[in-house]
C-alpha cells in the first residue's frame, strides 16, 4: 500500500503544481500534516483511505477541473487500488467541499479527518495567505467595504459571484471553526481562528473602515 500511495503522489504533484499557489502541492502537504495529527487521536480511522483522499481531494475541484487531467477514479485505477477502497476514498472526498455551507453529511471518521484537515489549511496564517493568493490569481479586490456578506447561500450562489478576498473571510473562513467535526480538529482550529480575527481587526484599523 505504501508503494501505491507513493505512485499516487507522483501523479498528483504534476497536476497540483499547475494550479495557483492557494491549491498547489504545498497545500496538499499541509493538509496531510494536519490529517496525521488528527489520525493520531482517531485510532479507528483508516490511514490508507485518509492518505489517498488527502492526495486526491482537489483533483476534481470545480475551480480547477480540466479535461486534460485524469479523474480521481482514473488515478486510483491506474495505480491498482481495488474497487472497495476506491469507493471509500471517493465517498471521503465528496464530503470535503464547503459549497457555500452546503457540504454533504460526513459518513465516516475518515471523511471527518480529511474535511477537518483541509479546513484547517483554510484558516489561520496560511488561510489568510491562501485567500489572497487565490484572489490575486482571479483578479479579485483585496476588500470592498460596500460589499454585502451573503448568508444561507446555495452552492450555485456561493460559486457564481467573485467577491472581494476579505468578504470570503465572513462568508466562509470565520465559520469553519464551529464546523469542525473531530475533537483534535476543533482544538487546532481555535488558535487559527483567533489569529484571523486579529488580522481582520488590524486590517480594519489600517483601512479606516
25-29, 107-111, 151-155 — most confident range: 25-29
Mean pLDDT of 90-102: 75
152-189: per-residue pLDDT in tens? 766 766 666 789 999 999 999 999 999 999 999 999 99
Which of these, 101, 13, 107, lies nearest to 56 by C-alpha position? 13
CA 88 to chain centre: 18
Quote the pLDDT of residue 120.
Answer: 98
Residue pair 162/140 in contact (Cβ under 8 Å)? The answer is yes
Residue pair 108/92 in contact (Cβ under 8 Å)? The answer is yes
- The structural domains of the chain, ordered by start, are 2-207 (1.10.3210.50)
Q: Return the minimum-mean-pLDDT range out of 41-50, 65-74, 188-197.
A: 65-74
- Three-class DSSP category at 122: coil
Q: Above pLDDT 70, what percent of the chain?
A: 92
Mean pLDDT of 132-141: 96
Mean pLDDT of the chain: 92
- C-alpha cell recorded at residue 173: 473562513
Question: Cα separation of 140 and 49, whole Å?
Answer: 36
Quote the pLDDT of residue 209.
Answer: 63
Quote the pLDDT of residue 151.
Answer: 81
Quote the pLDDT of residue 100.
Answer: 47
Q: What is the pTM of this model?
A: 0.92
Residues with Cβ within 8 Å of 105's Cβ and at least 6 positions away in sequence, in order, are 95
Residues with Cβ within 8 Å of 94's Cβ and at least 6 positions away in sequence, in order, are 104
Amino acid at each position: 500500500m505504501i508503494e501505491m500511495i507513493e505512485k499516487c503522489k507522483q501523479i498528483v504533484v504534476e497536476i497540483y503544481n499547475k494550479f495557483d499557489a492557494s491549491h498547489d502541492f504545498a497545500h496538499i502537504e499541509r493538509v496531510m500534516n494536519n490529517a496525521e495529527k488528527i489520525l493520531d487521536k482517531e485510532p479507528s480511522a483508516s490511514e490508507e483511505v485518509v492518505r489517498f483522499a488527502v492526495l486526491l481531494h482537489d483533483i476534481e475541484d470545480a475551480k480547477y477541473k480540466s479535461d486534460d487531467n485524469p479523474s480521481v477514479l482514473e488515478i486510483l485505477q491506474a495505480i491498482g487500488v481495488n474497487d472497495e477502497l476506491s469507493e471509500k476514498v471517493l465517498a471521503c472526498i465528496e464530503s470535503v467541499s464547503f459549497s457555500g455551507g452546503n457540504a454533504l453529511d460526513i459518513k465516516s471518521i475518515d471523511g471527518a479527518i480529511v474535511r477537518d484537515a483541509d479546513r484547517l489549511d483554510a484558516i489561520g496564517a496560511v488561510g489568510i495567505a491562501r485567500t489572497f493568493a487565490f484572489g490575486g490569481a482571479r483578479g479579485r479586490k483585496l476588500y470592498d467595504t460596500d460589499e454585502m456578506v451573503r448568508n444561507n447561500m446555495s452552492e450555485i450562489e456561493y460559486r457564481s459571484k467573485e467577491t472581494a478576498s476579505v468578504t470570503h473571510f465572513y462568508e466562509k473562513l470565520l465559520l469553519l471553526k464551529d464546523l469542525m467535526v473531530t475533537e483534535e480538529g476543533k482544538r487546532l482550529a481555535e488558535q487559527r481562528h483567533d489569529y484571523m480575527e486579529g488580522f481582520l481587526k488590524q486590517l480594519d484599523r489600517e483601512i479606516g473602515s
